[in-house]
Chains A and B, each alone.
Chain A
Amino acid sequence: MLNISNAPHIRNMRPTAAVMADVAIALLPVCGVGIYLFGWQAALTLALSVITCVATELVYELLMKKPVTVGDLSAVVTGLILGVNLPASSPWYLPVLGGIFAILVVKMLFGGLGQNFMNPALTARCFLMISFAGQMTRFTQPFTGTDLVSGATPLSQVQGGEQADLLQMLLGQHGGTIGETCAVAIVIGFVYLLVRRVISPRIPLVMIGSTMAFIFLFQLCTDQAALAFSANFLLGQLLGGGLLLGAVFMATDYVTCPITKGGQWIYAALIGLLTALFRVFGSSAEGVSYAIIIANLTVPLIERITVSKPFGYQKKKEGKAV
């Protein structure tokens, strides 16, 4: 039997599952360092998050008698990203509730993979931040097991005008969520994603540049304007909180970022603007997650205004039929 189909007759050999597997691999250094720093609790939180995400998708599809799509590994990636956004000391119900919310409410109810308009993992994180503010900001200190320190992260320190230990921030030896503390691990993941051509550097770099520029500008408008010229303050803002993690792994989420090149510039710059607004003028130290999901909502609008002119485009001449 001979097959018939319309051209083209050949395809690349890199299906969605392979792309998702690459993202998961890029997250391995981040997860690994998180487990090294925060111990078995971090591993447990990550595992619960991934298992819940995959199980939620599977159960939903079985109940709804839809084709099972967990093989595309997108739920694994969502689970990992949710996990690295949680504190290691999370009680078991945080990753479980978060995973169910991310997959069921944000993803499946809107039509499954590709149809959600906000990043599932981040939306779940924001849901947890609102519902369980205490547990979500009680960060484990590295190598200390269960000792909890509330609030005091390097990011809040630099914002308060204190000096932060930048080397420790690079290596991740401070309080924070499982994945956000170690800048080196995040950069390794970033390089892997670039080498594997999973993402382009456009969104992460524009977003980080925009964040730093707006933090500088906004800080000048505060009563601590002198801080804007402090290298320690600026680097602390860069390395602290979820900026790097968000720029590399969350703002670049295919489904919820613009598909057009021009749109990606606007979107990334917008995240930077919002992050700086929240960080400088907001009541909490952090704002990357909210900035990204708000920018997610503007994507359809951004895409509509950023369709580029086609190759060799010429304004139509009057009366000329094509």
Chain B
Amino acid sequence: MKSFRGGIHLYEGKELAGGAAIVTVEAGQELLLPLSQHIGAPASPCVAVGDRVLRGQLIAQPTSFVSAGICSPVSGTVKAIEVRPLLRGKGMVIVLENDGQNESIPTLGEARDHTTLSAEEIRSLVSAAGVVGMGGAGFPTAVKMAPKDADGIKTVIINAAECEPYLTCDYRLLLERPEKVIGGLKVLLRLFPNAKGVLAVEDNKPDAIRLLKELTADEPSITVRPLKTKYPQGGERLMLHVVANVDIDSTRLPADVGCVVQNVSTAVAIYEAVCESRPLISRIVTLSGEGMANPGNFEVPLGTKFADLLAAAGGFVGEPVKLVAGGPMTGTAFTEMDMPVTKTTGGFLAFDRDDVSENATTACIRCGRCVSACPEKLVPQTLATLASLGEFDKFEKLYGAECVECGCCSYVCPAYRPLTQNMKLGKYTVIKNRRANAAKK
């Protein structure tokens, strides 16, 4: 089975939550909806403090081409529009007071036949629903659905690798709502007349592969593609390498090589936006980790505070040492439980131990494990040192900005050096400098 060079085999931890069916969580008293839950320009509020809003109503609209709107997950009143602490720094948030009525806008849930819609209508429905890439990056989906050359798109890939340990939200969607995943793919295929659809699933989910194969047996334009289980198979470039046999670096987008890649949750959101008139107002979140009392998968209204989600799920076992939003390889550690679940929050993990603080950094022995593990063929050992010394020109010359931040180098390092962390420092400094230089010209 085709795979990619580098990468690592991890303890998967999927048995903790993988068996638990999706449970719906009721919205709490107060919901926090950040204006920036995506890559691109933040949305702009189109409600004022004191306004009553309905479930599904647009409360913030996109402000540019690369931007995404936000809809209300509940009915209630706008309590405030203010700066609140968020996972990555502070940001503007619409604070909603939930009235518990769950009063929806009249069109919510209205069935629609996507085969009667034009490509433009499909894109505007997805855009109006505020759909963004839910695998973690949060790239506005409507933009991805409007490449320069729609006829040149040959492959539409639903990325169901879910290679991050512990996370099982995509897996549960494949098992419990496969018709929506496939439906989302079909909607995408309507936009790209020359494209074939591929459902790419890591082979550690054999039951999901079997089910998808059964359901797509009569679909000539859709294939199910098992992938070798190896982290980070779900990375977009590696997905293209294995499934579409094309390699791209940071200078090109998948669309440049005739591909569109969408995550499982995103496919479901596309389906719901187009065929069920349901904007993106909830998502599946995996609660897991050794510190979680009841690991499971929950359908959570966006804006729900981690504290409310945790209470609904039965709390911690003992005292956790570390909390992570997302997966353990790329997720964000946090302490503030009053922060909200956003469109890109796939996991809420609680760990009863912390590998990072338990293992002190020691001297690099130049063993080369980071070089072998790097899927981007970089030399993290040298690059991380350059970045930590502030040698960003050399860092860029040695292709440091190609780093995809998968975390493999830090994971394998026997000296427990913060390689990925320094790579990120270097990468963002290089990108910042490039922008500054471009602005000067």
Residues of A bordering B, CB below 8 Å:
2-12, 14-16, 18-19, 69, 72, 74, 112-115, 200, 254-255, 257, 259-261, 303, 307-314, 316-317, 320-322
Taking the nearest CB of chain B, how far is it from the CB of A271, in angstroms? 17
**Interface size class, chain B:** 35 or more
B1 interfacial by beta-carbon distance below 8 Å: no
The 3 closest A-B pairs by CB, nearest first: A8-B407, A312-B247, A11-B355
Residues of B within 8 A of A312 (CB): 237, 241, 247-249, 252
- Check if A255 sits within 8 Å of B371, measured CB to CB: no
- Check if A9 sits within 8 Å of B324, measured CB to CB: yes
Residues of A within 8 A of B367 (CB): 19, 254
Taking the nearest CB of chain A, how far is it from the CB of B353, in angstroms? 10
- Check if A310 sits within 8 Å of B402, measured CB to CB: yes
Residues of A within 8 A of B372 (CB): 200
B379 interfacial by beta-carbon distance below 8 Å: yes
Which segment, of B16-24, B39-47, B117-125, B357-365, faces chain A?
Answer: B357-365
- Check if A7 sits within 8 Å of B249, measured CB to CB: no
Chain B, interface SS category: loop
Q: Mark out the residues of chain B between 404 and 441 whose CB falls within 8 Å of any chain A CB in the assembled complex.
A: 405, 407, 410-416, 418, 420-421, 424, 434, 438
- Check if A259 sits within 8 Å of B402, measured CB to CB: no
- Check if A112 sits within 8 Å of B322, measured CB to CB: no
Give the CA-CA distance A16 to B361 in the complex, in Å.
Answer: 10
Across the interface, A15 reaches (CB within 8 A) one of B248, B334, B402, B414, namely: B414
Known A-B contacts A4-B333, A16-B415, A307-B379; the reply to A114 vs B247 at CB < 8 A is no
- Check if B333 sits within 8 Å of A309, measured CB to CB: no
B177 interfacial by beta-carbon distance below 8 Å: no
B191 interfacial by beta-carbon distance below 8 Å: no
Q: Output the nearest chain B residue to A5 by Cβ-Cβ distance.
A: B356
B375 interfacial by beta-carbon distance below 8 Å: yes
Chain A, interface SS category: loop
Q: Output the nearest chain A residue to B405 by Cβ-Cβ distance.
A: A7
Across the interface, A261 reaches (CB within 8 A) one of B252, B371, B407, namely: B371
Across the interface, B412 reaches (CB within 8 A) one of A2, A12, A311, namely: A12
Q: Output the nearest chain A residue to B322 by Cβ-Cβ distance.
A: A3
25 contacts between A and B (CB under 8 A): A3-B322, A5-B354, A6-B421, A7-B324, A7-B330, A7-B332, A8-B410, A9-B355, A9-B356, A10-B355, A11-B355, A12-B413, A15-B359, A16-B365, A16-B414, A19-B365, A113-B365, A254-B365, A307-B399, A309-B399, A310-B402, A311-B402, A314-B251, A314-B252, A316-B251
- Check if B359 sits within 8 Å of A11, measured CB to CB: yes
- Check if A10 sits within 8 Å of B411, measured CB to CB: yes
Taking the nearest CB of chain B, how far is it from the CB of A211, in angstroms? 22
- Check if A310 sits within 8 Å of B356, measured CB to CB: no
Known A-B contacts A260-B371, A313-B399, A316-B251; the reply to A7 vs B420 at CB < 8 A is yes
Residues of A within 8 A of B320 (CB): 2
- Check if B357 sits within 8 Å of A260, measured CB to CB: no
Q: Output the nearest chain A residue to B410 by Cβ-Cβ distance.
A: A8
Give the CA-CA distance A72 to B361 in the complex, in Å.
Answer: 12
Residues of B within 8 A of A259 (CB): 366, 368, 371, 379, 381-382
- Check if B356 sits within 8 Å of A3, measured CB to CB: yes
Across the interface, B416 reaches (CB within 8 A) one of A15, A115, A320, namely: A15
Residues of B within 8 A of A12 (CB): 411-414
Residues of B within 8 A of A7 (CB): 324, 326, 328-333, 405, 407, 420
B377 interfacial by beta-carbon distance below 8 Å: yes
Give the CA-CA distance A9 to B320 in the complex, in Å.
Answer: 14
Taking the nearest CB of chain A, how far is it from the CB of B323, in angstroms? 6
Known A-B contacts A259-B382, A312-B248; the reply to A5 vs B414 at CB < 8 A is no
Residues of A within 8 A of B401 (CB): 322
With A7-B332, A69-B363 known, 7 other A-B pairs at CB within 8 A are: A3-B322, A10-B10, A10-B329, A11-B359, A15-B415, A19-B365, A311-B247
- Check if B376 sits within 8 Å of A8, measured CB to CB: no
Give the CA-CA distance A238 to B6 in the complex, in Å.
Answer: 33
Q: Output the nearest chain B residue to A315 by Cβ-Cβ distance.
A: B251
- Check if B328 sits within 8 Å of A10, measured CB to CB: yes
Residues of A within 8 A of B91 (CB): none
Residues of A within 8 A of B334 (CB): 4
Give the CA-CA distance A303 to B366 in the complex, in Å.
Answer: 12
